Amino acid sequence: MAAPCRLILRLAVVSGGGSGIGRAVCQRFASEGASVVVADRNEESAHETLELLSRNHKGQEHMALGVDVSLKDSVGRLVNTIQSHFFQPPSICVTAAGITQDEFLMNMTEEDFDKVIQVNLKGTFLLTQAVSKAAVAAGISKGSIITVGSIVGKVGNVGQINYSASKAGVEGLTRTAAKELSRYGIRCNCILPGFIESPMTDKVPEKVIYKITPLILMGRMGKPAEVADVCTFLASDDSQYITGVSIEVAGGLFIG
Ligand code: NAP
């Protein structure tokens, strides 16, 4: 069955679009009629995503661009390039770029703590700021920013002192952005994935997966496409009265 076309004529940028959840979001947005800019620090994987979009969604123009979301200049260049190419800024933005650098609290180096905050939290700030400024300056009347937090930002996780802090920060950032940007017609919401199959979780040891899976009510890890479904809802007018919220996409992990 063909996907409903809820994002026709919309331009979206997806950071981390070269892999896992970001790639699934790019594919889903394109299938709903959006033009998609795949933005990733890994340019090769961004182009692989573009290849999938160009093959399967020929009706719209898509683009792949390299970006390091932790660097203001790089994010500025990304948004400028999108504007010069499409003659408009994106009205939909998903901040899926993220990293882990796991270690127990007592062994975590300052460098590894900073690295994760720089990408996950500061990167979300820089992209949210650049996209919203461009959208407001261009007079875009309807926007949706979807940030990617994590369930562990709410409940914490052993070995992820840096990551859980960064993701808790993303939730607070999103609620504040929602308050400041509602007057411009820009909605901001945060998704909180649980335990999703992706290159990021491929690194998780088997014994940890074995311990976590019974805690998931759905009894299995989630799929990137299941997170993309929720991002599509938040990007589309189906959620036009929703802003400033966090939505768990976690199969019931940690609710008990
Ligand atoms: P992934 O497969 O590792 O994808 C993340 C992508 O972001 C990679 O392509 C990565 O490039 C890119 N990236 C990393 N640092 C970047 C930077 N500074 N600038 C631009 N791009 C950068 O991970 P995923 O599982 O899809 O995760 C996507 C998001 O969901 C992340 O924010 C993650 O924290 C969040 N999340 C994931 C899960 C899960 O279970 N998978 C759960 C909760 C939240 P490289 O390949 O070069 O690193």
- Best residue for ligand 1 mutational test, from 26, 72, 99 (most atoms within 8 Å of Cβ): 99
Q: How does pLDDT run across 104-116, given as a tens digit for each residue?
A: 999 999 999 999 9
* Mean model confidence pLDDT for the chain: 96
d(CA 84, CA 44): 22
54 — pLDDT class (breaks 50, 70, 90): very high
Q: Is 163 a catalytic residue?
A: yes
Residue of the CA atom closest to atom 18 of ligand 1: 68
pLDDT number for residue 126: 99
Nearest CA to ligand 1 atom 13: 97
> Treating both helix axes as pointing N-terminal to C-terminal, what angle do 161-181 and 123-137 enclose, rounded to 10 degrees?
20
| Residue 187 scores a pLDDT above 60 | yes
**Sequence-separated (6 or more) residues with CB below 8 Å from residue 106:** none
Buried b (16+ CB within 10 A) or exposed e, 22-41: bbbbbbbbbbbbbbbbbbbb
Residue nearest (by alpha carbon) to ligand 1 atom 23: 200
Q: What's the Cα-to-Cα distance from 94 to each of 123, 144, 157, 166, 234, rounded to whole Å?
A: 12, 9, 24, 16, 10
> What are the tens digits of pLDDT across the range 218-238?
999 999 999 999 999 999 999
CA 203 – CA 39 distance, rounded (Å): 23
Domains of the chain: 11-249 (3.40.50.720)
Q: What is the gyration radius of the CA atoms in the chain, in angstroms? A: 17
User: Which residue, 118, 129, 119, 78, is CA-closest to 97?
Assistant: 119
Which whole number is the average pLDDT over 47-74? 95
For residue 230, what are its two tokens?
């929720």
Ligand 1 center to residue 18 CA distance, Å?
A: 9
The whole-number average pLDDT for the span 5-33 is 97
